């Protein structure tokens, strides 16, 4: 099997909604004119992978290969590729293509493609079949959706930046986190801990709102100025009107009115967590103080590159625990019980040939 002719590669698959992952083999398309073949070195485990594997949001196509935090090395390029060369350290996040023609794509917001961005897994691919993600040894991706990983960032740490990093960087930039701004991050998990590091590097005053004080030392080490337990009702009285920006990374429904009460006049509560049930809110919670309830979804390709460069410049990366392919099922269980500090990353060299 030479690099150029990889067509069938080992992977960990979810055979049916809610099943445990199993070893298997998946097809990869031949390297086309504008394609890059990447030998995957590391892939992060995002909580979204677990939502998808369990089909929490519906629309799952099985067997599924999750994984949208991919870091690796280019082993072949198509003849028309200009941006990447063999041997380059590269990454792939949540998207592998989009229409490139709509206003959002032209504006660098491919994640909001009016025709639907092609997600890294569980999306209809160019050949009609579902795309397969990064729990695998190789992937073929159009060069325009491949990111450059700066020298200073080890590949294992680069992987979680491709989803967790950009998902927090984008709203922090959009809502002007920086010196003089008070930012709260709700939930100290994979996304949340990157939010703390990035907001701190941007110069904001950062508060973690976690369910308990169990991660207080970690939060402060990661860059938080303050840490409060949301299980303590006094927290909500004490912090009323305290924040310019609150970003919730929680995968369950929050009591939105309580969190809106923590905003200053004109403040914004941004949700990036993905609970599957609808939320409710008293509209008066928005009217009093002209507050905004918003959402945010990953970030565009150019912005993702900007985030990687920002992380290299500020010498920051995720706290990771590297696991083997055989440990993915156990890692899923540990994410669900918040027993992760703070992102699991799969070492792709442990994915054996099927
Ligand atoms: P994670 O590592 O599991 O972190 C989530 C954190 O939320 C936990 O560490 C925990 O923090 C808190 N939490 C968990 N269950 C809770 C509950 N029942 N009540 C209150 N707090 C709870 O997950 P993640 O990978 O960071 O992903 C978080 C969410 O973001 C998921 O729903 C994922 O699908 C979604 N997501 C969205 C985007 C996007 O583009 N918008 C991108 C990636 C992921 P504490 O222990 O500190 O309370
Ligand atoms: Zn993700
Ligand atoms: Zn588009």
DSSP at 14:
B
Whether the CB-CB separation of 92 and 139 falls below 8 Å is answered with yes
pLDDT per residue as tens digits for the range 209-225: 999 999 999 999 999 99
Whether the CB-CB separation of 45 and 350 falls below 8 Å is answered with no
Q: Which ligand 1 atom lies nearest to the CA of residue 208?
A: 47
How far are the Cα atoms of 106, 108, 145, 223 from residue 102, in angstroms, in the given order? 6, 10, 16, 39
Residue predicted with more confidence, 263 or 126: 263
Q: Cα angle at 110 between 69 and 65, to 5 degrees?
A: 35
Q: Return the pLDDT at 2.
A: 43
Dihedral, CA atoms, 108, 196, 198, 307, nearest 10 degrees? -40
Q: Which ligand is nearest to the CA of 209?
A: 1
- In percent, the amount of the chain with pLDDT more than 70 equals 98
**Mutational pocket test of ligand 1: of 69, 187, 220, 344, the residue with most ligand atoms within 8 Å of the beta carbon:** 187
For CA atoms 179, 213, 52, 344, give the dihedral sign.
positive
Q: Which ligand is nearest to the CA of 52?
A: 1
Q: Which CATH class is domain 7-153+317-350?
A: alpha beta
* Right CATH for 168-295 from 3.40.50.720, 3.40.50.620, 3.20.20.450, 1.10.10.60: 3.40.50.720
What residues does each domain of the chain span? Answer: 7-153+317-350, 168-295
Structure tokens at 279: 């939320």
pLDDT per residue as tens digits for the range 87-114: 999 999 999 999 999 999 999 999 999 9
The DSSP H or E segment spanning 285 is: helix 284-287
- Is the predicted pLDDT of residue 189 greater than 60, yes or no? yes
Ligand 1, pocket residues at CB < 6 Å: 46-48, 51, 163, 167, 187-192, 210-211, 215, 249-252, 272-274, 296-298, 335, 338, 340
Q: Return the pLDDT at 126.
A: 74
Choose among 100, 135, 103, 137: nearest CA to 120.
135
- In percent, the amount of the chain with pLDDT more than 90 equals 94
Q: How many beta carbons lie within 10 A of that of residue 184, not counting itself?
A: 29
d(CA 4, CA 31): 7
């Amino acid at each position: 099997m030479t690099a150029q002719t990889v067509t069938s590669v080992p992977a960990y698959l979810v055979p049916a909604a809610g099943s445990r992952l199993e070893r298997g083999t998946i097809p990869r398309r031949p390297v086309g004119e504008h394609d890059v073949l990447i030998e995957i070195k590391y892939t992060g485990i995002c909580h979204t992978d677990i939502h998808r594997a369990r089909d929490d949001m519906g629309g799952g196509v099985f067997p599924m290969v999750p994984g949208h935090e991919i870091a690796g090395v280019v082993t072949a390029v198509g003849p028309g590729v200009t941006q990447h060369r063999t041997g380059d350290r590269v990454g792939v996040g949540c998207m592998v293509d989009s229409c490139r023609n709509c206003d959002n794509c032209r504006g660098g917001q491919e994640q909001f493609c009016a025709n639907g961005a092609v997600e890294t897994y569980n999306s209809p691919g160019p050949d009609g079949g579902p795309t397969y993600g990064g729990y695998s040894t190789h992937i073929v991706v159009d060069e325009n959706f491949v990111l450059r990983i700066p020298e200073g960032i080890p590949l294992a740490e680069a992987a979680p930046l491709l989803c967790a990093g950009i998902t927090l960087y984008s709203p922090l930039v959009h809502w002007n986190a920086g010196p003089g701004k008070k930012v709260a991050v709700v939930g100290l998990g994979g996304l949340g801990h990157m939010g703390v590091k990035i907001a701190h590097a941007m110069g904001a005053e950062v508060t973690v709102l976690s369910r308990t004080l169990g991660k207080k030392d970690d939060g402060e080490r990661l860059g938080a100025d303050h840490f409060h337990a949301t299980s303590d009702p006094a927290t909500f009285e004490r912090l009323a009107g305290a924040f310019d920006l609150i970003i919730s990374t929680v995968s369950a429904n929050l009591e939105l009115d309580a969190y809106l009460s923590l905003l200053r006049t004109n403040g914004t509560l941004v949700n990036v967590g993905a609970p599957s049930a609808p939320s409710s809110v008293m509209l008066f919670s928005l009217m009093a103080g002209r507050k905004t309830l918003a959402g945010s979804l990953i970030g565009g390709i150019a912005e993702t590159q900007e985030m990687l460069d920002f992380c290299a410049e500020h010498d920051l990366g995720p706290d990771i625990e590297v696991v083997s392919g055989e440990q993915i099922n156990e890692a899923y269980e540990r994410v669900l019980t918040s027993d992760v500090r703070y992102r699991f990353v799969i070492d792709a060299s442990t994915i054996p040939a099927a």
